[in-house]
Amino acid sequence: MGKGALALLVHGGTENWSPQRWKARFGEVCGDRPVVLLPDPALDPAEVHYAAVWKPKPGELAAFKNLRVIFNLGAGVDALMADRSLPDVPLVRVAVDDLTDRMTEYVVLHVLMHHRQEPYLRESQRVRRWAPKYQWAASALTVGIMGLGTLGAASAHALGALGFRVVGWSRSEKQVVGIRCFHGSDGFDAFLRETNILVCLLPLTPETRHILNRGVFTKLNRTSPLGAPVVINAGRGGLQNEADILRALDDGTLGAASLDVYETEPLPGDSPFWSHPKVVLTPHNAADTDADEISKYVARQIARFEAGEALENVVDRTRGY
């Protein structure tokens, strides 16, 4: 082989993650670079310089001794961070407008759904009940965004533009126009005390695992017209303590939850979330990864790398995101 190969390793299980589809897209943007779908018994691992992966199993990349860069085909790298044998080369995550816009759509949709009392209205329609409830202004509610990175910051801006009061929480100190920013464990309680609708867009790391728990829910602000606060999680399932969410919904600590991610995916058929009247459930597709956009993004990054320029969106392995 001339140019080092790009190896594709995709375990998605859904139509969007069809390995053949990704191979075709990468084939279109990689020029004369060979694109190989793994596993491929005929492949000499030494020929692979780049790996583009989604949910590889621990150890699956260890054999590629000449690897130069690993590209994660999504924004969240928690599955890769769990692999102790991951080759020690730069790990690049996805940060592209296409994915960011999709997540912003999800967050705006679900914040508005709760703000505009859609579950109540849909139930009213179902039982033919004409019983309007007052629709208050967006400015009556504070949305608190956990994670002010690529996705959180974009959602915060979109919600601010709709008139919501927006507060944000991150690990390091931030200044974002129009958003009251809190950071670190010292700023967490003050952030929660302001928040009526909590949106979680954190990465899953040892520090953030089960951060959505009962202790946090009890600190949320209950003084808005919404009454009981709402939680929206589109980060990762491991961020939420699912038993705590169910208990908080049942005893009124939380008024509702929108969940896109779960500790076990696909969500088991016997999960109480499926039929819970206060849960709005989606199957981890808040922001789908688009094969066209992402293959072009990876090809651009390889071109930068080979031209001696810095790679973008490299994961800090010590922080875990």
Query: Which are the catalytic amino acids?
Result: 236, 284
CA–CA distances in Å: residue 62 to residues 19, 94, 291:
20, 22, 25
Residue with smaller CB distance to ligand NDP, 204 or 248: 204
Closest approach of Cβ 78 to ligand NDP, in Å?
A: 6
Q: Using the rule CB under 6 A, which residue among 76, 229, 237, 255 binds ligand NDP?
A: 76
Residue with smaller CB distance to ligand NDP, 187 or 225: 187
Residue 170 interacting with ligand NDP (CB under 6 A): yes
Alpha-carbon gap, residue 286 to 121, rounded angstroms? 23
CA–CA distances in Å: residue 296 to residues 18, 113, 114, 207, 293:
17, 34, 36, 33, 5
Residues in the chain, total: 321
**If you compute the radius of gyration of the chain from its CA atoms, what whole number of angstroms results?**
21
Closest approach of Cβ 293 to ligand NDP, in Å?
A: 13
Q: Do 273 and 259 contact (CB within 8 A), yes or no?
A: yes
Residue with smaller CB distance to ligand OXD, 104 or 289: 289
Closest approach of Cβ 183 to ligand NDP, in Å?
A: 7
Q: Do 143 and 159 contact (CB within 8 A), yes or no?
A: yes
Alpha-carbon gap, residue 309 to 1, rounded angstroms? 24
**86: partner contacted, choices ligand OXD, ligand NDP, none (Cβ within 5-8 A by kind):** none
Residue 289 interacting with ligand OXD (CB under 6 A): yes
Q: Which stretch binds ligand NDP (CB under 6 A): 60-68, 126-134, 228-236, 303-311?
A: 228-236
Q: With CA atoms as reference, report the closest residue to 48 among 12, 39, 11, 57.
A: 39
Binding residues for ligand NDP (CB under 6 A): 74-76, 95, 99, 103, 147-152, 169-172, 201-205, 207-208, 234-236, 260-261, 284, 286-287, 321
